[in-house]
Structure 1
Amino acid sequence: MKKISILIPAFNEEEVLYSLYSRLSNVMDGLIEYDFEILFVNDGSSDGTLSILKFLREKDERINFLDLSRNFGKEIAMIAGLDFVKGDALVILDADLQDPPELIPEMIRYWEDGYDDVYAKRRSRTGETWVKKWTSAQYYKLLRKTTRIPIQEDTGDFRLLDRRCVEALKKLRETQRYTKGMFSWIGYNKKEILFDRDPRAAGQTKWNYLKLIDLAIEGITSFTTFPLRVSSIAGIVISFLAFVFMIWTVGKTLLLGDPVSGYPSLMAVILFLGGIQLLFLGVIGEYLGRIFNETKKRPLYFVNEYNNEKATNRVQNEEPQNERSIK
């Protein structure tokens, strides 16, 4: 019997967990030819999420939970879950029920047909403002044009991955993670299915615009050096224009006797060039900061407990997390 793992990162999701479990149970009970496990990754929740997960585990042995030592963010929570899942295939699912669990049987059918990565593309996005939809579309358009990797538009983390995709993702241990791009980077045989995304079942979204901007910068700097190339090209263009302006100004003064403009033009040029320099220094700083974080070689995460057993965290830095690091 093939085993299907369902990975669910959870941060302060106490309001939706029972509804999520109910819908997942209906799906799993309808697929009796498969063995299921659900792995919840509690990403440092401050509400009753962990208590509910422990209660659900007592009720259903298919449920496992991984409690991280603090809030590391969803991207890190996902790689932590990848290190612990045991299935022949893995389904990544958000806890807020915006991604319907009822799509899992269709994903499994395509997986059985030979596809390694069955990803769900949003046909519509209920509950999101037009500003968010528009900015998202423009961001993905920019990202696709600036990278050689075929980034998937209007897709999130909701997908089924074959075991070999999971093993490939586990080898990517960088601390600055943009998992949506990593799904594309590893390749393999992909299949798209369409769905209508629902609004959150309960609770509040954890993604405000500042976090979304940070994630967007993460995606651009992780998968393309285009901003650095723009800096170089802009530097060449501005230097050329400055040289032409200098020749024109000197020539006009020597040949026509026109006086050189003073303070206003000088300040305008200084402020313009100063702003451009600071902007490009910031771009370089973004890449330099990522190099700095990677060279520290810190563990991606620490585990507090796995299924009520305290973690030792002995091998966190040397190899991917697994159950041998649990007492």
Structure 2
Amino acid sequence: MTLAGTEIIPEYVFVDDGSTDHTLAELQALHREHTKTVHYRSFSRNFGKESALLAGLQATTGDYVAVMDVDLQDPPELLPKMLKMIEAEDYDCVGTVQRERRGQSRVRAFLSTSFYRVINRISGVHIEPNARDYRLMTRQFVDTVIELPEFNRFSKGLFSWVGFKTTYLAYESQPRAAGTTHWSLRQLFAYSIEGIIDFSDVPLKLATWVGSGSCLLSLVGLIIVMVRALTVGGSAAGWPSLVVIMLLIGGIQLFCLGILGQYISKIYLETKHRPQYLVREER
């Protein structure tokens, strides 16, 4: 939205993230009807939420930018209050937080709460629990977020990392206007892992601690075996226990390599310098 004196001139930017339904046709019709105020970007394929969010921010030109999901779970009636807080209280960003998660299973709610607890304990950046992407930001705030060059993006973390004066409004979650979510538990878990890796090196330290603890236990076990052999004599055969110990140590090694591999994969993607998204059509 752009301020022209006391008048607010809204501008709408829709991002079509490689949809396979009639979304693009609807956006084309809206643009023909409202050429100056309705714009869209349609991707060549599905690039994911983070790419779509970045594309939308990059396409905006207004003094203030609001991010909203099209399922209408984000109440538009909050926007005047958010704008008033930015203008009257000099905030750079007004975000939103859900008081409760209607229509969400207890398992998902528990996992979501646990994620915020974990990432806020191990990360140097505080991420507001249950924060939505729905927020109103100043032009300076948006430009700063856009300038961040990383390929692996976790927007909630980036919004917090850039700082500026930010506050949050709590609201009751709204039911979807239509459709169902395409986010499975597996996808949400992978997204959570990505956020943790992007904003914390604690998993790498954990691998070091686990490896060090394993070496220490092995050293203690070696000393016990040597002392027993010198004082009592040879020990009885214990193939089952030996196999279990070998599997345990092998599992620890693979666990640590897996953590290291996650970070290396992030580096690999960053060094490719591929674009975040490809636009098939834009108006």
State if a TM-score over 0.5 links the two structures: yes
Q: Is 1:109 paired with 2:78?
A: no
Q: After superposition, give the CA deviation of every residue in 1:90-135 in whole Å (9 maximum; x if it has no partner).
A: 0000011111111111111111121001000111111111111111
* Structure of greater relative contact order (alpha carbons < 8 Å, 6+ residues apart): 2
Q: After superposition, give the CA deviation of every residue in 1:264-314 in whole Å (9 maximum; x if it has no partner).
A: 12101100000111111111110000100000111111111211xxxxxxx
Q: After superposition, give the CA deviation of every residue in 1:26-70 in whole Å (9 maximum; x if it has no partner).
A: xxxxxx821110100111111000111111222234211111121
Q: Is 1:223 paired with 2:222?
A: no
Distance 2:21 2:176 in 1: 18
Secondary structure of 1:118's counterpart equals strand
Amino acid at match of 1:164: Q
- Select between 249-258 and 87-96 the one with higher mean Cα deviation: 249-258
**8 A contact 2:211–2:256 mirrored in 1:** no
Task: Give the fraction of aligned pairs with identical amino acids, expressed as a percent.
Answer: 38
Q: Which runs of 5+ in 1 are unaligned?
A: 5-31, 308-327
Distance 1:262 1:194 in 2: 60
Q: Is 1:192 paired with 2:168?
A: yes
Distance 1:154 1:120 in 2: 9
Secondary structure of 2:203's counterpart equals helix
Choose from 48, 68, 79 the match for 1:73. 48
**8 A contact 1:173–1:300 mirrored in 2:** no
Which residue in the other structure is 1:259 paired with?
A: 235
Distance 1:231 1:188 in 2: 34
Q: After superposition, give the CA deviation of every residue in 1:140-177 in whole Å (9 maximum; x if it has no partner).
A: 10000000111111002110111111111111132211
Choose from 65, 68, 75 the match for 1:100. 75
Distance 2:189 2:100 in 1: 22
1:1-16 equivalent positions in 2, closer than 5 A:
3=2
Amino acid at match of 1:197: S
Q: Is 1:204 paired with 2:180?
A: yes
1:259-278 equivalent positions in 2, closer than 5 A:
259-278=235-254
**8 A contact 1:121–1:156 mirrored in 2:** yes
Secondary structure of 2:253's counterpart equals helix
**8 A contact 1:66–1:305 mirrored in 2:** yes
**8 A contact 2:154–2:198 mirrored in 1:** yes
Q: Is 1:38 paired with 2:37?
A: no
Q: After superposition, give the CA deviation of every residue in 1:206-242 in whole Å (9 maximum; x if it has no partner).
A: 2111110111011011000110000101111111111
1:237-252 equivalent positions in 2, closer than 5 A:
237-252=213-228
Secondary structure of 2:281's counterpart equals strand
Q: Which runs of 5+ in 2 are unaligned?
A: none
Choose from 46, 66, 82 the match for 1:91. 66
How many equivalent residue pairs? 279
Which residue in the other structure is 1:49 paired with?
A: 23
**8 A contact 1:253–1:260 mirrored in 2:** no
Distance 1:208 1:35 in 2: 38
Distance 2:186 2:210 in 1: 27
Amino acid at match of 1:91: A
Which residue in the other structure is 1:321 paired with?
A: none
Say what the alpha-carbon RMSD is for the aligned residues: 1.3
Secondary structure of 1:193's counterpart equals strand
1:279-294 equivalent positions in 2, closer than 5 A:
279-294=255-270
- How far did 1:261 drift? 3.9
Which residue in the other structure is 2:278 paired with?
A: 302
Secondary structure of 1:187's counterpart equals coil
Q: After superposition, give the CA deviation of every residue in 1:252-271 in whole Å (9 maximum; x if it has no partner).
A: 12102251543112101100
Structure 1: which 4+ aligned runs deviate by more than 4 Å?
A: none
Secondary structure of 1:124's counterpart equals coil
